[in-house]
Amino acid sequence: MIRIASLVGGLLAASPVLAHPHIFVDTGIEVLFNAAGQAEAIRLTWTYDDLISLTLVTERGLDPDFDGVLTPEEQAAINGFDMNWQPGFEGDTYALLGKVPLGLSGPTDWTADYKGGRLISTHLRRFDRPVDLAPSQPLVIQSYDPGYYSAYSVIDARVTGREGCTADIFEPDRAAADAILEAALTEYAGSEDVETDFPAVGSAYAEEARIACE
């Protein structure tokens, strides 16, 4: 996902292949509309699971007293911790108008916080051009890691800046996704490279928000 795997590689190296995914992220999706009623950007919120949050905070030497509260200096140190994206990384976020893929900018206006033992980050991504929505063509925002190292659960979807829109969350057919995963893994049976070259089955597990406007 955000290419923080190298930071936790030692912790997860002994994990069996079938333990995929290793990182769990609760995702919030907010679609922002301009004054003309066009979708112009998405604000994404990622809330990381307790284990990866503790690992990342500890490796940075933050919160040494483990009280779950960061100083202003520590707060500044974590800002952007997951925004150092490698070239070609899609941000584990995919936008479609109906079935047509839409281009998204890289991340901007990011924030980070640490609450309740969990790291929470946000970032903004703009569409290449403003998007007109129609009832017959919903805007679809999918969250998934193609390599399925990370699992995203969309827990919130909303619209800001326009009336008459709905934001619904859809989950995949997990039995069908598991079957796809099992079939892909049979090709790697006995391979030592399966962990580093895991089959790209993440899209089968994609959760998505569908935005429809009157």
> What is the per-residue pLDDT across 133-154, written as a single tens digit (0 to 9) for each?
987 889 999 999 998 889 999 9
**Percent of the chain residues topping a pLDDT of 70:** 86
pLDDT of res. 196: 58
- Tokens 């905070």, located at residue: 57
Say how far apart CA 205 and CA 207 lie, in whole Å: 6
> Higher pLDDT residue, 157 or 60?
157
Nearest residue to 48 via CA among 94, 95, 102, 117: 117
Long-range contacts of 97-105 (CB under 8 A, 24+ apart): 97/131, 97/133, 97/137, 97/139, 97/140, 98/137, 98/138, 98/140, 102/127, 102/128, 102/131, 103/127, 103/128, 104/42, 104/128
pTM as predicted: 0.87
Q: Are 68 and 88 in contact (CB under 8 A)?
A: no
Distances (CA, A) of 198 to 14, 20, 40, 162: 15, 9, 34, 41
Residue type at position 188: Y
Q: Within 45-103, where are the H helices?
A: 50-59, 72-78
pLDDT of res. 189: 63
Q: Are 26 and 107 in contact (CB under 8 A)?
A: no
Domain that includes residue 126, residue range: 5-9+18-213
Instruction: Name the domain count of the chain.
Output: 1
Residue 5 pLDDT class (50, 70, 90 cuts): very low
CATH number at residue 63: 2.70.170
> What is the per-residue pLDDT across 57-111, written as a single tens digit (0 to 9) for each?
999 999 888 888 889 999 999 999 999 999 989 999 999 998 899 999 999 999 9
pLDDT at 3 over 70: no
pLDDT at 214 over 90: no
